[in-house]
């Protein structure tokens, strides 16, 4: 509003400074588009108009009137559409560059270090591998592929590598991204449709010394993204750059992954993070208490370690809930009484917020399949496994008859539903992959 009002005042003055023809044909067609740092940018409707008003006599009069209404030091720039678009693009690129530099300086969570990572039997091998890579990037294990269920510490270790390298090898260009971020960057480069955009994307990902990519399992079923990541991987590997990949499953279990990518991922070290045992869970809880300044009785630590199953995030959430309840009672220490009261509904009423609809939607979102496919007749593995897992979860977590579950899945009979339930029930006991999938989906469903 200020800019337009001031420009109207300038026009009123200029109308008396130039001929009516010059004013009507050229000056009155100018549009003020930007003002800052004592610079006024005026947009001319054409190159011809720009050239006309940039003539010495006319330009001097424009500048004179502008300085009377803005500041005595205002610089006037008159541009056409193409020049203005180029200028805006350069400004945006500069802003993006500054923002990228700002993000890169703080891209690693300072809480996630090797010192803060609790090492136990379940994760000591993968932790040692990550430390080795951090100390000797591109010399030991390349690529390094780590996998495990939700909340077991994969992201913590990736950030720990980043923090270590930032401190000990700050000259290295280290990039950590999620698979979603890689995908979005690639899609944006295509959407912009300019050679420079594609070059910027490739320069971002292929000029690094260490690339860490999280949740690579989401690359499944995305052929275009797999193609681009394949070339990114090859370029970095051939130039002896370190690659670290994290996933919720090993490469061999990514059925929708191209064989050439599966082969590349398997060419280095593959190491899993297993579910923590009781002693490790106790150590994690105590570490969390130390970091956050929580005062918790010893028997509460034991209670939480035994009550939770595998997900460390859930365990930390339960701890926070107990401590918060204790603080509401104006207590300095969380006792067993507080734990019982804070968690009295845990495991008993956590199902009350669940229904079959929520479970089915969560399974669809987890596996990136459509609702129609989930309840339909397709028999490919990418659909059958989510369908059977969904049946198992509904039966396990809700009190619904098998016949009713069959109705949810397109009218299937109860024997088909029973087969799916029993198959997954058996696999949960003997197959770590299936057990991890069930635990991960339950964790999403039982967030509180």
CATH of residue 155's domain is 3.40.50.300
* φ/ψ bin of 50: left (φ > 0), alpha (ψ from -120 to 50), beta (otherwise): alpha
pLDDT at 197: 59
Q: 181 and 263: one domain?
A: yes
Question: Is 171 domain-assigned?
Answer: yes
pLDDT at 308: 67
pLDDT at 108: 86
pLDDT at 309: 62
Question: Is 108 domain-assigned?
Answer: no
Q: 232 and 328: one domain?
A: no
Q: 301 and 402: one domain?
A: no
Pick the closest to residue 340 from 307, 298, 294 (CA basis): 307
Q: 231 and 285: one domain?
A: no
Rounded CA-CA distance 127/137 in Å is 15
39-43 and 75-79 strand pairing:
parallel
CA angle 282, 284, 287 (to 5 degrees): 110
C-beta separation of 311 from 281 below 8 A: no
pLDDT at 47: 92
For residue 290, what are its two tokens? 């130390």
Question: Number of structural domains, the chain?
Answer: 4
Rounded CA-CA distance 440/366 in Å is 9
280 CB-near residues (< 8 Å, 6+ apart): 118, 120, 121, 122, 123
Question: Is 99 domain-assigned?
Answer: no
What is the longest distance spanned by two Cα atoms in the chain? 92
Q: 172 and 282: one domain?
A: no
Q: 266 and 284: one domain?
A: no
For residue 207, what are its two tokens? 């000029």
Q: How many CB atoms lie within 10 A of CB 250?
A: 19
pLDDT at 312: 79
Question: Is 114 domain-assigned?
Answer: no
Domain end marker among 253, 272, 291: 272
What CATH number is attached to the domain comprising 434?
A: 1.10.1750.10
H or E segment to which residue 303 belongs: helix 298-307
- Output the pTM of the full model: 0.56
Question: Is 350 domain-assigned?
Answer: no
Q: 337 and 377: one domain?
A: no
Q: 200 and 316: one domain?
A: no
pLDDT at 349: 40
Q: 363 and 432: one domain?
A: yes
In the numeric block, the tokens 């949960």 are attached to 428
Question: Is 119 domain-assigned?
Answer: no
Domain end marker among 318, 342, 366: 342
pLDDT at 190: 83
Q: 319 and 240: one domain?
A: no
Mapped onto helix, strand or coil, the DSSP state of residue 35 is strand
Neighbouring-strand partners of residue 220: none
Digit-by-digit pLDDT tens for the chain (448 residues) are: 678 889 999 999 999 999 999 999 999 999 999 888 889 999 999 999 999 999 989 999 999 999 999 998 899 999 998 998 888 888 777 766 655 554 454 478 888 999 989 898 888 999 999 999 999 998 889 999 999 887 888 999 999 999 999 889 988 999 999 998 999 888 888 887 666 657 888 888 998 999 999 999 888 778 888 999 999 999 999 999 999 999 988 888 887 888 899 899 988 899 988 888 888 888 888 888 888 888 988 888 888 887 666 577 778 888 888 888 888 888 888 888 888 787 776 654 444 567 899 999 999 999 999 999 999 988 898 899 999 999 999 988 886 788 889 999 989 988 899 999 999 988 887 888 888 888 888 877 865 4
Q: 169 and 241: one domain?
A: yes
Domain that holds residue 332: 278-342
Question: Is 106 domain-assigned?
Answer: no
Pick the closest to residue 334 from 324, 343, 344 (CA basis): 324
Q: 51 and 65: one domain?
A: yes
Domain end marker among 217, 240, 272: 272
359 CB-near residues (< 8 Å, 6+ apart): 390, 393, 394, 397, 398, 445
Question: Is 411 domain-assigned?
Answer: yes
What CATH number is attached to the domain comprising 327?
A: 1.10.8.60
């Amino acid at each position: 509003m200020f800019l337009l009002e001031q420009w109207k005042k300038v026009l009123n003055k200029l109308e008396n400074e130039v001929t009516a023809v010059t004013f009507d044909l050229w000056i009155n067609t100018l549009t003020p588009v930007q003002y800052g740092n004592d610079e006024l940018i005026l947009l001319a409707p054409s190159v011809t108009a720009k050239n006309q008003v940039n003539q010495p006599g006319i330009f001097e009069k424009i500048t004179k009137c502008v300085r009377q209404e803005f500041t005595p030091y205002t610089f006037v720039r008159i541009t056409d559409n193409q020049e203005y678009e180029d200028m805006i693009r350069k400004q945006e690129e500069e802003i993006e560059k500054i923002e990228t530099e700002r993000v890169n300086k703080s891209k690693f969570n300072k809480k996630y270090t090797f010192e803060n990572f609790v090492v136990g039997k379940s994760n000591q091998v993968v932790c040692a591998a990550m430390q080795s890579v951090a100390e000797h990037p591109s010399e030991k294990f390349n690529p390094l592929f780590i996998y495990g269920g939700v909340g077991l510490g994969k992201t913590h270790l990736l950030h720990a590598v980043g923090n270590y390298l930032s401190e000990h090898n700050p000259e290295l260009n280290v990039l950590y991204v999620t698979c979603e971020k890689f995908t979005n960057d690639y899609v944006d480069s295509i959407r912009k449709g300019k050679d420079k955009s594609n070059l910027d994307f490739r320069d971002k990902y292929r000029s690094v010394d260490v690339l860490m990519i999280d949740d690579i399992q989401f690359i499944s079923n995305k052929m275009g993204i797999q193609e681009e990541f394949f070339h990114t991987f090859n370029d970095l590997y051939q130039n002896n750059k370190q690659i670290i990949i994290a996933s919720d499953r090993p490469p061999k279990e990514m059925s929708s992954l191209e064989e050439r990518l599966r082969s590349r991922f398997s060419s280095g070290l593959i190491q899993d993070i297993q579910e923590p045992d009781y002693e490790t869970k106790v150590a994690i809880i105590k570490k969390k208490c130390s970091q956050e300044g929580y005062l918790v009785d010893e028997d509460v630590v034991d209670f939480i370690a035994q009550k939770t199953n595998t997900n460390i995030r859930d365990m930390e959430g339960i701890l926070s809930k107990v401590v918060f309840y204790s603080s509401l009672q104006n207590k300095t220490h969380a006792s067993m009484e507080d734990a019982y009261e804070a968690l009295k509904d845990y495991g008993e009423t956590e199902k009350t917020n669940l229904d079959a609809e929520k479970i089915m939607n969560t399974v669809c979102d987890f596996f990136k399949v459509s609702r129609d496919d989930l309840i339909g007749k397709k028999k490919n593995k990418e659909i059958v496994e989510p369908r059977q897992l969904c049946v198992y979860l509904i039966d396990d977590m809700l009190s619904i008859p098998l016949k009713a579950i069959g109705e949810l899945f397109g009218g299937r009979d109860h024997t088909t539903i029973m087969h799916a339930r029993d198959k997954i029930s058996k696999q949960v006991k003997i197959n770590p992959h299936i057990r991890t999938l069930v635990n991960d989906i339950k964790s999403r469903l039982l967030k509180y």
